[in-house]
Amino acid sequence: MKHILKSIIVLSLVSTAACNDAPKADEAQTAEAQQVQEAPVGTNYAVDNQKSTLSWIGTKPVGKHDGIFPISTGTLSVADNNITGGRFDIDMANLKVLDGGKGNEKLQGHLKSGDFFDVTKYPNAKFEITSVAAGVATDPKDLVMKNATHTVTGNLTLKDSTKSVTFPAKVSMNGNSLIADADFNIDRTQWGIVYGNDKSLGDKFIRPEVNIKLHIEANKQ
């Protein structure tokens, strides 16, 4: 019986540790910022900020937190049923922690501080598309989002740092509306957000990988 109980405890600990790893998602490729097309051709689609969401999950050895970065405004350009450009702005000053754990208000304030996003100085972030290509760059069987249809590349600006990120996405259009979904991980340290990124901190270590789930709905203007 003791051996059985011991095995159950070990399995439970292993399971808990696995749950607190960074969520399984497609890994975004990060590179130096690319040139953005100033006036992409096509018809403008306005991003619906009431239906569009940008959610996040951050993890550490003893737990995780999740929340949202509100999308404030955005426009996409579409020509011949393809996205040719666009951008959306992210309201960092109103980021939310949603998991309902103790100390969420404290964590929310910490994320807004200079240790993380410094929203007093940098209240907004932005994503500017540099290219959208049909198909995916990797073998579909290697993707977490198996139904991805496109590869999206764009410049993500957080605080005073801009990096190009590339990730798979599912994009669908029906003429007057557009829906895009993506699920990927980024390394926050690429944007100089390094607080807690030291494994010697033990349980206080905060993993550099942040999961991003992006859902965009836009309508023809």
7 inside domain: no
Q: Of 150 and 37, which is predicted with more confidence?
A: 150
Residue 45, pLDDT above cutoff 90: yes
4 inside domain: no
Counted residue by residue, the chain has a size of 221
13 inside domain: no
The pLDDT score that the predictor gives to residue 141 is 67
CATH number, domain of 151, equals 2.40.128.110
Q: pLDDT tens digits for 188-209?
A: 999 999 999 999 999 889 999 9
Q: 144, 26 in Cβ contact below 8 A?
A: yes
The pLDDT score that the predictor gives to residue 1 is 52
Q: 116, 195 in Cβ contact below 8 A?
A: yes
The pLDDT score that the predictor gives to residue 104 is 84
Residue with tokens 């998602």: 25
The pLDDT score that the predictor gives to residue 140 is 65
The pLDDT score that the predictor gives to residue 108 is 95
Q: pLDDT tens digits for 49-75?
A: 999 999 999 999 988 999 999 999 999
112 inside domain: yes
62 inside domain: yes
- Give me the chain's average pLDDT, please: 89
157 inside domain: yes
Please state the rounded mean pLDDT for residues 146-154: 93
pTM: 0.87
Q: Which domain holds residue 204?
A: 21-220
Q: How many domains does the chain have?
A: 1
Q: pLDDT tens digits for 3-23?
A: 444 444 443 443 344 446 777
Please state the rounded mean pLDDT for residues 114-125: 98
43's CB contacts (< 8 A; 6+ apart) are 77, 78, 79, 220, 221
15 inside domain: no
The pLDDT score that the predictor gives to residue 20 is 64
Mapping DSSP onto H, E and C, the string for the chain reads CHHHHHHHHHHHHHHHHHHCCCCCCEECEEEECCCCCCCCCCEEEEECCCCCEEEEEEEECCEEEEEECCEEEEEEEEECCEEEEEEEEEEHHHCEECCCCCCHHHHHHHHHCCCCCCCCCCCEEEEEEEEEEECCCCCHHHCCCCCCCEEEEEEEEECCEEEEEEEEEEEEECCCEEEEEEEEEEEHHHHCCCCCCCHHHHHHCCCCEEEEEEEEEEEEC
10 inside domain: no
